[in-house]
Structure 1
């Protein structure tokens, strides 16, 4: 590791007195310490690396954060401010003394859940947790003493900001210093797609590695303390396989596709129910923790995944099963396009008329994809029945990515103005909100890119005036670019993952920050699909 690169940039930050060093490892939290920004800095870093190596901890990465600016505030003000910031979005460090003896980088604060949800309340009702702070101090800091709020009640503390760099082997990467993208690497203009391509590759491989020998996924984890999610969701199993197959197709990974097939076989072997009274109809059921139910959306995403595999491989292996699932899906759709969302399994009685609005879009898209493969007019007829209901009931207001996908595919087969208008409304009505959205919300990029492809189709058909009537194209394209770049804040780069309990287990995956950095198979799914659509179809010249 070329430490001379850190020495070279010290001159650039000669006005910074303090330098925070984070030594990153694969199997434990980063070791963070502060040193004087002087000629002995590199020697001090080498000494720490050697000391940790003798203890069996080999340094993979070195992150250097130069103190940029600071402000003094009362501890009471800070204690009131922290729970008001969106969970895990703190972008400043905190020092409890002027010499930075007890101090924490924002990455330490966020990755160790210093600010966490109040037990028994929603995940955004937060408090500053003394226990988590003390656990971190005891295990990973040289500070001697116990932290408690009252100790600082009448004192001032320091909020500070840094400019960071990551040393990865012989490459030194400059990190973004400010705002919600604080602490992740800068990407040179014109190299965005190269960066997104790397992310697709690592995240697809991550998702593939979550497939166990029996074809079931390791569902997910909360990486603060490396805790597995003790739950499973069959719908997300199927939808994640769809994106996994997309990613493997993008990477041209044939051996991976065979492994992904095991997840489809697991689904059909364990969760397929053929109606004994009407053997031409089938359903995907979920008996996780004995909930015993059939969701409209489960059938829909199972169809999407099965068709994706058959399209990629040219196989018709699952076609008859897909036809049965389509008929089961249609039995949950009324003549006017209204739907029943949840049935009891195995009774096939109504459990809930409505639950999740996105089930409707998943069902429509599943039938649409099957029609494109099978060309049975019955499948298309039901898609149109559903869309008449969507149009009459203004479903565009839900900004549903599944509907955006389906609208594009439907408009290719039925290029009718009413479908184009619905699709334009679906992507245009919340552009300002989407552009400014603080969380990554990866389904937004999926929705926007499906709409983008539909707009291209409309232009091919000479429908420029209709596009202009409903869509601010400049803002639309600007929003797509912004969301693609901003979604990098949901990616576990080394400079992010190194502060968590088990960095190797999350490196190269995607997460949802305000849900405790949750890494769940369907979270990874949505990032992969959105970025693939962006890479394949978005023109950077826009």
Structure 2
């Protein structure tokens, strides 16, 4: 086996070496297709990591001949004599085929959520023009824009990729023409070892992961936070995000998400203690505090501060997540230099509360502080209350607790638990630490109890669902030491809760940009190791990554004491059986 120069301390296989390593594994697993299809159809994909993978496919009746031809073709795409380039190799083989007609396929796409068509398509019955599921989705061939919620052919994108892949634009079939829909099994080599990949369902195309244990979770936290650190420029501003199909940078900006992303980076730093991440956090905080937050004198003479967004908007949630970032930074590093600024931001939030009702105004104009929008999103309420609770936990200043309790009178009265908001889940978990009152615990349970089927079954990764579950999990564990509240356990199925929590944590693996998926996009090295939102054309935005990180940081803590939680679940199950409620 040939190797190139040592990279990151590891000797990495060249393409030839990876092909040598992969062949026995593919041969062992690949099974011949039945007639009338070619017995073997293999796809070879390779990238050096810096550009979209080159892909070739070969069909034939004998495995050895198909493999040899495919290996020669993929070596030829590297542009290196003998194929000695190092990078990533993936080999797919067709394992099932279904013939259909073009019109029927269009109808099936209309019933499929965009970017969730998980099969390859051959545009002719002989597999001359065939694209795998990964190729179709990474090149937006089945994406018709953000206003079209279902999968739909994009002829322009098909033409662009078709010319690259086949040297000519594949002709779209007539409505009654036969086309093939197929699935593949695959292996991936990262230059060091082989990884088996899933071939069915929501996991299609990414590696098989056994137990979702601490090393796996910590590795994703490190990788995702490294990605965020790389997005922080010298001036402290982030690259806001990417549309990775074509490596297009998102030009917009949002100061609220700047602050909340920084908060998640500090959470990750508490886990990794990575020096490079710390440097990026400091740059981001410097820009946040020096450029984005403005101090003002309120009408009552108090000195407040507000996070100002584009368009001169003051968002309630902006002040809240700025407090979250600064409090967490203070807790993790011991740095108290932003103590006064946190107080001024909290005063800003207090100025946005109606003391009579407890509710908040959501958006003000800067600098006039006139109400621009009384309500914008339910998230702002939870963010504001959570931010103040975290500040109270740091300073024990009763002003902040009083604001939150007034707000919760309003939240309970308006049944805000019906929104199943993760920020409210975070907040009520914090509130019950200092005010362990039944009404607050009841609210926290209501926030998730009727939501468990959604948490379990939602096909999008929806990372905030893990966050809401982790906040509720912490609250449930603390309730175990409070016998007067044990009757509340009857309002939630803890066995179902545990299954939903674990299912959601595993499903988030499908939103991680494993290299075997990233390799098909416009700039694999830029996005590998980040997190994405599939139904938004695989968008990678700083706040998308933020929520995956926060969920997995909390899940990592859960793994450290999972037996404690499972004991609670088991005890609750026994109690239900004793009470005649069944298993």
TM-score range, shorter chain: over 0.9
Quick one: which of 14, 19, 31 aligns to 1:14?
31
Q: Is the 8 A contact 1:6 1:42 kept in 2?
A: no
CA distance in 2, matches of 1:129, 1:49: 27
Aligned equivalent of 1:109:
136
Alignment correspondent of 1:38: 63
Alpha-carbon offset, residue 470 of structure 1: 1.5
Q: Say if 2:42 and 2:67, in contact at 8 Å, map to a contact too.
A: no
Superposed CA deviations along residues 30-79 of structure 1, whole A, max 9, x for unmatched, are 11212246124553344234323326994511111121111110111012
Cα deviation, residue 279, structure 1:
5.0
| Cα deviation digits, residues 102-154 of structure 1 (max 9, x gap) | 00101111111112235xx7241553111110100112x1353x3343x4322
After superposition, what is the alpha-carbon deviation per residue over 1:440-489, rounded to whole angstroms, capped at 9, x for unaligned? 00000011001000000001223563342221100101011000111111
Aligned to 2:199: 177
Structure 1 stretch displaced more, 9-18 or 369-378: 9-18
Which residue of the partner structure matches residue 61 of structure 1? Answer: 88
Secondary structure of 2:64's aligned partner: coil
Structure 1 match to 2:338: 318
Provide the rounded CA distance (Å) in 2 between the counterparts of 1:106 and 1:172.
21
Question: CA 1:350/1:420 → structure 2, altered by over 3 Å: closer, same or farther?
Answer: same
Quote the residue 1:301 is aligned against: 321
* Cα displacement string for residues 465-521 of structure 1 (whole angstroms, at most 9, x for unaligned residues): 334222110010101100011111111001110110111110100000101111000
Distance 2:29 2:77 in 1: 28
Could you tell me which residue of structure 2 aligns to residue 202 of structure 1?
A: 223
**Equivalent-residue separation in structure 1 for 2:274 and 2:519 (angstroms):** 29
Superimposed CA distance per residue, residues 187-218 of structure 1 (whole angstroms, 9 cap, x where no aligned partner): 12x35332222111100100111110011111
Contact 1:497–1:503 under 8 Å retained in 2: yes
Give yes or no for the alignment of 1:523 onto 2:544: yes
Which residue number in structure 2 is paired with residue 83 of structure 1? 110
**For the residues of structure 2 that align with 1:273 and 1:244, how far apart are their CA atoms?**
23
Alpha-carbon spacing, 1:89–1:59, altered in 2? closer, same or farther (3 Å): farther
- For 2:166, the equivalent position in structure 1 comes to 142
Query: Does the Cα contact within 8 Å between 2:45 and 2:74 map onto a contact in 1?
Result: no
Quick one: which of 552, 555, 558 aligns to 1:537?
Answer: 558
Shift of 1:168: 1.9
Asked if the contact 2:425/2:471 (under 8 Å) is kept, the reply is: yes
Which residue is 2:533 aligned to? 512
* Separation in structure 1 between the aligned mates of residue 68 and residue 302 of structure 2, nearest angstrom: 74
Q: Write the deviation string for residues 395-438 of structure 1: whole angstroms up to 9, x where unpaired.
A: 11111111111111111111111111111111212111111001
**5+ residue gaps in structure 1?**
none
Between the aligned partners of 2:219 and 2:518, the Cα distance in structure 1 is 16
Residues paired across the two proteins, number: 533
8 A contact 1:283–1:328 mirrored in 2:
yes
TM-score with structure 1 setting the length:
0.95
Does the residue aligned with 2:179 lie in a helix, a strand or coil?
strand
Pick aligned residue for 2:176 from 151, 154, 158: 154
Partner of 1:266: 287
Q: How far off is 1:160 after superposition?
A: 0.6
* Bigger shift: residues 76-85 or 367-376: 76-85
Does the 8 A contact of 1:53 with 1:59 survive in 2? no
Q: How does 1:399-410 map to 2 (within 5 A)?
A: 399-410=420-431
Flag structure 2 segments of 5+ consecutive residues without an equivalent: 1-16, 34-39, 567-583
Provide the residue aligned with 1:243 in structure 2: 264
Please give the alpha-carbon distance, in whole angstroms, between the structure 1 residues aligned to 2:151 and 2:133.
17
Q: Distance in 2 between the 1:493 and 1:487 partners?
A: 12
SS of the aligned residue for 1:535 comes to helix
Q: Highest relative contact order (Cα 8 Å, sep 6+), 1 or 2?
A: 1
CA contact (8 A) 2:320 2:384 kept: yes
Of stretches 203-212 and 3-12 in structure 1, the one that deviates more from structure 2 is 3-12
Cα distance in 1 for partners of 2:374, 2:79 equals 62
Question: What pairs with 1:136-535 in structure 2 (closer than 5 Å)?
Answer: 136-139=161-164, 141-144=165-168, 146-149=169-172, 151-188=173-210, 190-277=211-298, 278-286=301-309, 288=310, 291-335=311-355, 336-462=357-483, 465-535=486-556
